[in-house]
Structure 1
Amino acid sequence: MGLGLVLLAIHKGYRFIAVMPAKYSLDKQILLRYMGAELYLTDPALGFPGMYDKVEQLQKELPNVHVLNQVTNKANSEAHFRLTGMVVSSVPMHWRHCIWYWKVSENAKPRRQNHLCGAPGKHKIQGVGSGFLPEVLDTSVIDETVTVTTEEAMENAKRLAKEEGLLVGISSGANLAACLKVALREENKGKMIVTMFPSGGERYLNSDLFADVREECLAMTF
């Protein structure tokens, strides 16, 4: 979302300011700055509330500020329904409107959840398990939640790269991990499980996802 907004700001001649927790990947920070965005980092320990506090502070200090808040802006979910969702609905099958949502908790034994948890444990899966429910989220259409650990998410992201040639990010690995849990259920034997991979791996080169190969490459000699 950030890079798309930067491109729009460039073409419109707008000043663009991005605010994100410091735990977000260095690659994302570099790309935003490279494209000319101003960047403010917030204390990861404060989570999303700390990030929004910084946004409110900037909104008070700067003139003519418009905040594009994807968790409260109904146009965001509507765009996904009309555009992103159409990619899936173009498949010649009958789809039931369904949202899969998962809670992520580091070093926790995965377990099925039948409700959304507002206070997830510490984890390294960027973009999910933020500890609050977005205003635009319609929880009435959610059937269940599936717990995924950081380790499972990263393991499956690496599997997608090595086994399928798909360079995806950590949250995509979490999607696959959740789908595999669902697919293993007896009642789902022989059924097709569908998901989407919303993150690209090139945005995580400086994260723990690439730690082993990054250290290997840095240690290479000629």
Structure 2
Amino acid sequence: MTVHTSLLSMIGNTPMLKLTAFDTGPCELFVKLESQNPGGSIKDRVGLAIIEEAEKSGDLKAGGTIIEATAGNTGIGLALVAVIKGYKIILVIPDKMSREKILHLEGLGAEIVLTRSDVPEGHPEYYQDLARTIAAKTPGSFLANQFSNPANPMIHRTTTGPEIWEQMDGNIDAMVAGVGSGGTITGLAEFFKEKNPNIQMVVADPEGSIVADAVIKGSFSYDGGSWLVEGVGEDFIPDNLNVDLIDDAEVVTDKEAFQTLQILIRKEGVLGGSSTGTLVAGAVKWCQKQTSPKRVVTFICDTGNKYLSKAYNKSWLHDNDLLEVETAGNVTDLINRRADQGDMISVSVSDT
């Protein structure tokens, strides 16, 4: 058994699992458990790659400050590497992100700047614009810029893709991934299309995001849509996303995503994050449309430990109309949190 001398050497080489709890039509569906990375997500790979490439190029020097706009997981990946290597890190995060992610980042010593999640690119409070502003005002800073940094797709082309190819013995027909920064699906597509041009690259996209339209229709228009899953879906096409390498897309509603998480935990024992719900639901929908057997791979992108107060909280799911609830047809249906069903509300003497 290998004994590691640094947590960083434990990033990658995550296990593969075949799912059995879903109706996948004629297909077999496999998930790569990126939740098993040290920081709990696929973004550990990206954090390590971005920092090491910046060190090689001289863009990041000893004592420097790393700055990034992130939905949380890239921030955790960057902060994990930063704390081990001795860098300061400032992260700009949209206010819809889970409290668990923010606490994790604070535990790693990151400085957190919360900003609005309801404004488009170009607005001064849009998380990427705000990160650029902070970087411009911070001496000795390095803007990680996962949306344009070539180290992002590179790490998936050189590690994630080859790992999947080896685990599947080269027998893979389709790969389903989400788009946040675009690096995962682009890097994977670059690798798989070189191995076999017939491997289908499929985007699982939240309802309200523009990526599926860009893939299927070749054009898109953002109409202010929003979604509750974190880390996937966009209102623009990131520089790191090569749409020409993507073959198909599936749109997944928030309700479909969060209900898929319930099946994963209750029937497969897999505790996945919210974007995992989108990917697995999208993969299942794509599988069900197929007319011949195919071997399909997607990801458990991150651990659900970061979403316990949301994705695994019955009251939050109920409040956001994401839970299928049996109704009694009387006034008890109006009671949100019921003691007879084990629900609980806590208050302190200072609450009003």
> Does TM-score exceed 0.5, indicating one fold?
yes
Moved more, 116-125 or 48-57: 116-125
TM-score (norm 2): 0.56
Match of 2:161 in 1: 85
Percent identity, please: 27
1:166 to 256, 270, 275: 270
Larger Rg: 2
2:202 to 92, 100, 119: 100
Q: Distance in 2 between matches of 1:127 and 1:76?
A: 15
CA 1:163 to 1:58, structure 2 compared with 1: closer, same or farther past 3 Å?
A: same
Match of 2:62 in 1: none
Shift of 1:86: 2.0
2:90 to 9, 17, 21: 17
Higher helix share: 1
Match of 1:60 in 2: 136
Match of 2:279 in 1: 175
The answer for unaligned runs of 5 or more in structure 2 is 1-73, 173-191, 194-199, 317-336, 347-352
Per-residue displacement from partner, 1:66-119 (whole Å, max 9, x unpaired)? 01011100111000111112221112124453432133226xxx99x7136452
Shift of 1:182: 1.4
Residue type of the partner of 1:3? I
The answer to whether structure 1 residue 148 and structure 2 residue 252 are counterparts is yes
Residue 140 of structure 1 aligns to a residue whose secondary structure is: helix
CA 1:15 to 1:174, structure 2 compared with 1: closer, same or farther past 3 Å?
A: same
Moved more, 22-31 or 194-203: 194-203
CA 1:193 to 1:8, structure 2 compared with 1: closer, same or farther past 3 Å?
A: closer
CA 1:118 to 1:172, structure 2 compared with 1: closer, same or farther past 3 Å?
A: farther
Q: Distance in 2 between matches of 1:85 and 1:118?
A: 31
Residue type of the partner of 1:76? N
Higher strand share: 2
Q: Distance in 2 between matches of 1:144 and 1:25?
A: 30
The answer to whether structure 1 residue 219 and structure 2 residue 323 are counterparts is no
Residue 11 of structure 1 aligns to a residue whose secondary structure is: helix
Match of 1:201 in 2: 304
TM-score (norm 1): 0.86
Q: Distance in 2 between matches of 1:92 and 1:179?
A: 20
Residue type of the partner of 1:57? T
Q: Which is bigger in relative contact order (C-alpha 8 A, separation at least 6)?
A: 2
